[in-house]
Each structure stands twice: as C-alpha cells, then as structure tokens.
C-alpha cells in the first residue's frame, strides 16, 4: 500500500518533469503547459529526495503506511530556504540538490510546479494543496517573507499559542479540513510547545 501511494506521487512528479521535454508547441485547451528547465530540474530532484526519504522511513518497522508528496517536501524546503539565513538557506538547497540554481530560480521553479500540479482544468483531476506557517504569538513575520512565500508557495501565515495545546490543535485541524473540503479533518493529534514556527501542509 505505501509503495503504491509513494509510487503514484513520484510518477506524478516525473510526469511534471517530462512535460518540458516534449516538442514545444502552443498548449491546447485542457492540457498542461510546458515547464521551464528550472522547474523540470526541481521536479527531478524532488522525486529523488522523496525516494530517499521513503527508504529511510521504511526501515522503521513501526511505520505501516507512508505517504510522501515529492513536491510538498520540496516546497517545504523552499520555504525554509526563503525564510532562513545564509547557512540555513544553503543547507535547504543542498538537501534538494539544487545548489547550482540561484535562490530566485529555486523559488520561481517550485512555484511553477505547484501551480501546474494544482491546475485541475489541465489535469482533469483536483489536487487540494495548502500550506500554512504558524508562528508563536510573540513573533512577527517579515513583510518581504510573507509576500514572497505567498507569491511562490501560496503559503498562509498565522499566529498561534503553542502553549494552549487544545486551541492550537483545533485551529490547525480546522484549517486542514477547510483546505481539503473536509477530506482531511485531522492533520495532527499533538502539537509540541515551541518558541519556533510550525509549517503544516495539507493535501
């Protein structure tokens, strides 16, 4: 079961990467647009990363079902790169094997992949993708980060009181349910008390 789930998501990432290799022509109505070279590179890198993560997680006998989205993992790293300082940003790009791409190429390329995957008209399938970055009440996100993360990753931002676990859980799970039209009513059962930020993805 877990191999099938991961395989399906990784095949989708490979399909995204393959689109740019087709002969260039005007996109017909109802078909996906061709991807740029940087988006293709990132699709390939994210697929390889997802397989590596799967192999590592599959070694844990306590884990029965593994569902990984290569693009969600990659876009999360992109957000870390966008909001992190020089060392953190470089480390995030290294994990994604995107060291040779400029920062702006990473963000625009991942944004392009997210938009392509979410294009239900072109793909005849609906993927509900959502990301929200929760920060503690005492922290304010920088305006340029908020703008860029919304532009490239369609990431929402919210403040939350992590010390009030019940309220935090309710807020996060309600957001996930709304984002997926009720198909994912619970994305987490626990929230750690932290002074840092929490990135939640719903798919």
The predicted pLDDT at position 128 comes to 75
Question: Is the whole-model pTM more than 0.75?
Answer: yes
pLDDT value of position 7: 38
- CATH 3.30.497.10, applies to 128-202: yes
Alpha helices for 23-164 (secondary structure H):
37-58, 70-83, 86-95, 103-117, 120-123, 143-153
pLDDT in tens, 50-66: 989 988 888 876 777 77
CATH 3.30.497.10 domain residues, the chain: 128-202
In this prediction, residues 97-121 reach a mean pLDDT of 90
Residue 187, SS3 per DSSP: coil
Nearest CA among 12, 43, 36 for reference residue 124: 12
Segment of 21-25, 42-46, 86-90 carrying the highest mean pLDDT: 42-46
pLDDT at 139: 84
Angle at 176 between CA 152 and CA 58, to 5 degrees: 85
């Amino acid at each position: 079961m877990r191999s099938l789930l991961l395989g399906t998501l990784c095949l989708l990432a490979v399909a995204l990467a393959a689109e740019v290799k087709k002969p260039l022509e005007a996109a017909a109505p109802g078909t996906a647009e061709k991807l740029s070279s940087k988006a293709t590179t990132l699709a390939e890198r994210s697929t390889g990363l997802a397989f590596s993560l799967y192999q590592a997680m599959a070694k844990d006998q306590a884990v029965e079902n593994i569902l990984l989205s290569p693009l969600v993992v990659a876009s999360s790293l992109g957000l870390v790169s966008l909001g992190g300082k020089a060392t953190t940003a470089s480390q995030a790009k290294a994990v994604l094997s995107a060291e040779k791409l400029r920062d702006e190429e990473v963000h625009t390329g991942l944004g392009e992949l997210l938009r392509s995957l979410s294009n239900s008209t072109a793909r005849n399938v609906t993927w509900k993708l959502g990301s929200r970055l929760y920060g503690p009440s005492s922290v304010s996100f920088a305006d340029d980060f908020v703008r860029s993360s919304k532009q490239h990753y369609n990431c929402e931002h919210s403040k939350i009181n992590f010390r009030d676990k019940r309220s935090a859980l309710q807020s996060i799970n309600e957001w996930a349910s709304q984002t997926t039209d009720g198909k994912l009513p619970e994305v987490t059962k626990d929230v750690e008390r932290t002074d840092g930020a929490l990135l939640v993805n719903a798919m």
